[in-house]
Amino acid sequence: MDLLTNFWQLFLLSAPWLMLGLLIAGLLNVYLPTDFLHRHLGKEGLWTTIKAALIGAPMPLCSCGVIPAAIGLRRAGASKSATTAFLVSTPETGVDSVSVSYVLLGPFMAVIRPIAAVCSAIAAGVLVGKESEFNNERTKTSHNLETVTSSCCSTKQATAKEPTSSCCSTKQAPTVEKASCCASKKEVVKIEGGVAKLKRAISFSCNKLLEDTMVWLVIGLFFAALVQTYVPESYLSQWGSGIFAMLVVILISIPMYICATASTPIAAGLLLSGVSPGAVLVFMLAGPATNVATLGVVGKELGQRAVVAYLIGVIGVALLFGFLTDYLVSEFGFVVAPMMGEEHQVLPHWLSLVCGVLLVALMLRLALKILLKKSTQTGKSIS
């Protein structure tokens, strides 16, 4: 019973941020010009990754809300490295989490946390971009080998193409018609009103985007509820400091489904129970960026090999900044201590409840549509 209660509480906490993420993704899909994304975020490279990390850092989205926003960014034309950087920097830090960090952990952690989050996003984005470039080179090499092996057929292909090119002069009319109809569609998009665009954005968010993400969202929340129910806080505090404590914190934080703001009170509790500031920072970086739902979406949208590069970038930078934090605290005497010991609700309970009920209704509607579609396809195959 405690597991179900924790799952429902986590679902209610995540629902408003998930709805916000879905809305932002829909607005990006409709309002943001494709040429803008191709120009600023469409190429692989360091500068593109830095821009995506800086764009995502101040946004107040949690682990659940950033998933649909990142998918919308990717499908609107952003590169793999830019999508990864946005996917890491957005849940790891934000304007709201910096202010909460200042209150609960002190000014030093409020400064080093966003710096570490941006560096982590850049590292993960560059590694995923390099992995995609390596895959592209492999496909080009294999394509060139296929071209060389089939070069003996080039004369046959040329003779086959000559009659088709001579008789295609009368068949060019359909392409002209297609071009003209595409032009009319562009005109329709140009004169589309603001209300129609908003409806299209909401429809995209509540149908296609939610359908693609809701399974992993539910799985991630369930794993988070399992950790919250069966892994006590004292289990983390017994490891203290050092590399072993950081690795244990990473292993525990991967199933957890929390955002930067929600992880801060937990980090303050760990700090009070004896965990080192470096291990606390590792928890706040790894928890929001390496949960099960995010890793599942990375594998689905960017490829399975990208998951390895993603984890190396996020965990590697988190460990580096963990050691750096412990060194700075011990050498220069920076104070890392909660300025207040109580957690405050970021959003009112009634808003979380309304968003949770609405999200459940949307998910049930999509699940029913999928079941009906499968049943009709099964009926057609039988007939």
This model's pTM is above 0.85: no
| pLDDT surpassing 80 at residue 237 | no
Between 129 and 184, the higher pLDDT residue? 129
CA pseudo-torsion sign 164, 165, 171, 177 = positive
Residue 194: the pLDDT is 75
Tell me the pLDDT band of 268, cut-offs 50, 70 and 90: confident
Tokens of 112: 């080093």
Residue 233: the pLDDT is 61
Cα 85 to chain centroid, rounded: 9
Predicted confidence (pLDDT) per residue in 182-234, tens digit? 444 444 445 567 788 888 888 878 887 777 667 767 776 776 677 677 766 66
Residue 210: the pLDDT is 79
> Helix 277-289 vs helix 304-332: angle between axes, to the nearest 10 degrees?
160
Give the length of the chain.
383
Give Cα separations from 351 to 16, 340, 364 (angstroms).
7, 25, 20
Residue 321: the pLDDT is 95
Which residues fall within 8 angstroms of residue 6, CB to CB, at 6 or more apart?
225, 228, 229
